[in-house]
Chain A
Amino acid sequence: MTNSSQENNTNENNTNTKTKAGEHLSKIMKEFYINQHLDAQAGKFCVWAAIIVPLEILRGFDIIVGIPENYSAMTASKGLGSAQCERSHQLGFSPDLCSYARIDLGNNLYPPKDAQMPPLPRPDLIITDNNNCSLLAKWFDVYHREYNIPHFILDVPFCYNPQDYDGLNYILSQYKDIIRKIENMTGQKYDIDKTREAMNNTNEALKHWKRFMNAALHKPAGITAFDSFVQMATFVTLRGTPQIVEQYKLLADETEVRIAEKIFPVPDEKYRLLWDNIAPWHQLRKMSSRLKQLDANIVYATYTSCLGTIEGGIDLYEYDGVDPLKHLARTQNFSVCPYGLELRYEVIEKLVDRCGIDGMVFANNKSCKVYSLMQLDIQKRLIDKLKIPSIMIDVDHADVTRYSEEGVFIRIEALLEQIDRYKNVC
């Protein structure tokens, strides 16, 4: 099995050959999926977890962990997303649902006979959370009913302000419930030392991640946001493992060398843009190469800036090595959707400043309402306060039928003209 990077990898050098980090990513993801199936054949207990469920806790057990959202993103990046969406519609699921969910329901409940990608191993337990969205819990509940297996929902309070002490303790108490649940179902004893080790790995990996992301600060930027989208897949699947440390170290080192050698993805970079929403998985290569032709680079994205942070932050919230569960609870809201408009605006303001952003691209994504609903007010504030030009484009992260390349590029070109005007005036 291949991974998204093989089809759509933007991590290529100027001669269009794959980077070492790109190759390594493909290798570890391939191994990850093959091992899952081998472990399942050997009868290992399998958990399907939502991407924000702290995998470091699950590493305290000897179990398989499947991540359906990642699998959906991969399906979309291989150009198979819309077909799987269609199959879920045939099962009666609404076309207005999130495309990750539709792809996944199509993948698992109505797989095509000639499936290029075999479905994830069948789960024994499902663990979701409601801080990215509760839609996820409803989606995974379908499997709870279909497969007649338990569904643990991690209830995380939405943050209008940074998480408080009581919120943290509430999350911690539920981590303990998850541990008890898996212990009871598997008969295994939870090993906190494995979680400790996993937390150390994650922390180490995230330091390299931030080093990699800092390449975007260079002018011209050493990376595009599309590189970060591709590389993020490892975080959501291999959090806590030594492989992710190796991957992100290789990635950051290689990126720094490329900058030293003056190899840049958009060498004549004239426009530095910021992206707000999930990656357009079906457009990674196309969109980045068309932008390159326009000397434009989406250098950073709120979607990938958030790894390792806390609400409203863009810097790494470092693990102090003391209590891994407490640290995980404190960083439970790292992804963008679990917090409100004020905190999200804070992130954007910091990124605009730090990355020297000229313009912003808000991807209006009907599939992910939690990411999109506040964008109109954030956009207005961005213009009022920072005088940063921006556009709103319609993009579904995984369903290409809801995307018009020409329509989007007309708007992007208009944004670039607007940036030129701003630059001339200022």
Chain B
Amino acid sequence: MTDFTESLKNIKNDGRRVMGCYPLYPPVELLHSMGFNPVIMWGLREHIISLTESDKHLQVYACSVARYMIEFIHLNASLLDGIVSYNACDTLRNMPEIVKCMLDGHGKSIPSFTFHVPAVSFEQSAEAGNYLGLHLNRLISAVEKEYHIKFSGDKFAESIELYRTMRNLCREIEALVSKGIIPFYIFCEAVGEGYFTSVEKHIEKLKSVVNDYTSNSKNVKNKRIILSGILNPPIGITKLFENCGLTVAGNDIAMLKRSYAFTPGIKDNPIEYYCSFYQERFPCTTILFSSDRRIDELKSLIENSGADGFVFVGEKFCEYEYFEMPFIEKKLKEWGIPGLFIEISTEDRDNLAQYKTRIEAFSEIL
């Protein structure tokens, strides 16, 4: 398994600054174009052993994303040149000051930048676009000032193209996973590592995954499932799916599809780019106004992938996901698609046996 601290050191050895970004959808293209290597600090459950520092600052009912993130920042503070966050969710909006307290307590300090992403559609509130623009301009100015650098439209356009390439490759691999050619856990690992490396290296990694498996044209007749949730399921669980003869035909996971499904067509204007990025992206439970669209997307995801079942692997204490589940369950019934609902808590990393029977039983009813 990749050591993320080593990854950060490698980035720094390559001469780039590391910008730690809070999940879920920070402006990575912008930060990359300004000379940073953005790393999105999620998917850490299998990389961090104890939460000693986190427990001093966050109650155990905070979701695992927040708890691991604060521990990660603590462990890697000397490797982070800055931290960027936005109001992604109720928990994350409270974190910048908690992280500051944690760093202060250790006599450390990391430049921190926050900005506001409107939680509403521009259709409802036309001014929301201008307000986002204002915040992005403030973010750019603050970063320019802190690091004595200048934003460049040309560089931004280059960064967009790199991220577009990366996301296209993710979609290509997703299709190969859906055909049963690439194991889902390989895909999860490749995407997960990408959050802690440079986009250039991530592209190379994804290409090598494609190359390693394209000669493999097995025609599997597995049952097909859609996976949903915030984080990639723990590797143990993804392997369980495969061992039970289930192919991941598609996903609606925030770390996967919700992140790579969409890159705006805009070329070099950051304001226009991010207005489109946050308004038109693949729906997410945290993008408040996109809930209605989400149901339609899930329906077409199920139909287009020929899925036989739907598995939700939820983060314990993530209200965003919780509120939509009963409605999705109702819809699944209407569509005749069986659903399995699993909830993973912070402590569940080493305790996956309990899920085995449920996944086996589910695969049998499909």
Interface of A with B (CB < 8 Å)? 91-94, 96-98, 101, 130, 133-135, 137-139, 141-142, 145-146, 152-155, 157-158, 160, 166, 169-170, 173-174, 177, 340-342, 364, 366, 369-370, 372-377, 380-381
Contact = CB atoms under 8 A, between A and B. Distances in A.
A418 to B, nearest CB: 20
Contacts of A133: 90
Contact of A341 (B56, B98, B126, B134): B98
A158 B116 contact: yes
A160 B125 contact: no
A376 B291 contact: no
B57 A369 contact: no
- 9 smallest A-B Cβ distances: which pairs? A92-B326, A173-B127, A341-B97, A138-B323, A377-B101, A94-B322, A157-B116, A155-B120, A366-B61
A372 B66 CA distance: 14
A271 B316 CA distance: 39
A373 B323 contact: no
Interface of B: 56-59, 61-62, 87, 89-91, 93-94, 96-98, 101-102, 114, 116, 118-120, 124-128, 131, 134, 285, 288-289, 291-292, 316-317, 319-320, 322-327, 329
A234 B320 CA distance: 30
A145 B119 CA distance: 18
30 contacts: A93-B322, A96-B316, A97-B323, A101-B323, A130-B288, A135-B323, A138-B288, A138-B319, A145-B327, A153-B124, A155-B120, A155-B125, A158-B87, A158-B93, A160-B114, A170-B128, A174-B120, A174-B127, A177-B125, A340-B94, A341-B94, A341-B101, A366-B61, A369-B62, A370-B90, A370-B94, A374-B94, A375-B59, A377-B98, A380-B101
A370 B91 CA distance: 7
A369 B98 CA distance: 13
B134 A134 contact: no
Contact of A96 (B116, B292, B317): B317
Interface centre among B57, B59, B96 (most CB of A within 10 A): B59
A138 to B, nearest CB: 4
Contact of A92 (B61, B285, B325): B325
B319 A98 contact: yes
B356 to A, nearest CB: 23
A340 B93 CA distance: 9
A170 B288 contact: no
Nearest to B116: A157
Nearest to B316: A96
A138 B57 contact: no
Contact of A364 (B59, B101, B102, B326): B59
A13 B327 CA distance: 49
A369 B90 contact: yes
Contacts of B288: 130, 134, 137-138, 141, 153
A373 B94 contact: yes
B134 A97 contact: no
Given A138-B285, A369-B91, A373-B58, A153 B131 contact: no
Contact of B59 (A93, A97, A366): A366
A370 B319 CA distance: 12
Given A134-B288, A139-B323, A153-B288, A166 B101 contact: no
Contact of A152 (B56, B90, B124, B319): B124
A372 B89 contact: no
Contacts of A380: 101
A154 B125 CA distance: 9
Contacts of B291: 138, 141, 145
A306 to B, nearest CB: 17
A94 B90 CA distance: 17
A97 B120 CA distance: 22
Contacts of B131: 157, 166, 170
B63 to A, nearest CB: 9
B60 to A, nearest CB: 9
Contacts of B62: 369, 373
A25 to B, nearest CB: 31
A153 B120 contact: yes
Given A92-B329, A138-B291, 8 more contacts: A101-B323, A153-B120, A157-B116, A160-B96, A370-B90, A374-B94, A380-B101, A381-B101
Contacts of A169: 127
A85 B329 CA distance: 19
B131 to A, nearest CB: 5
B322 A376 contact: no
A214 B322 CA distance: 41
Contacts of B127: 169-170, 173-174
A174 B167 CA distance: 35
A340 to B, nearest CB: 5
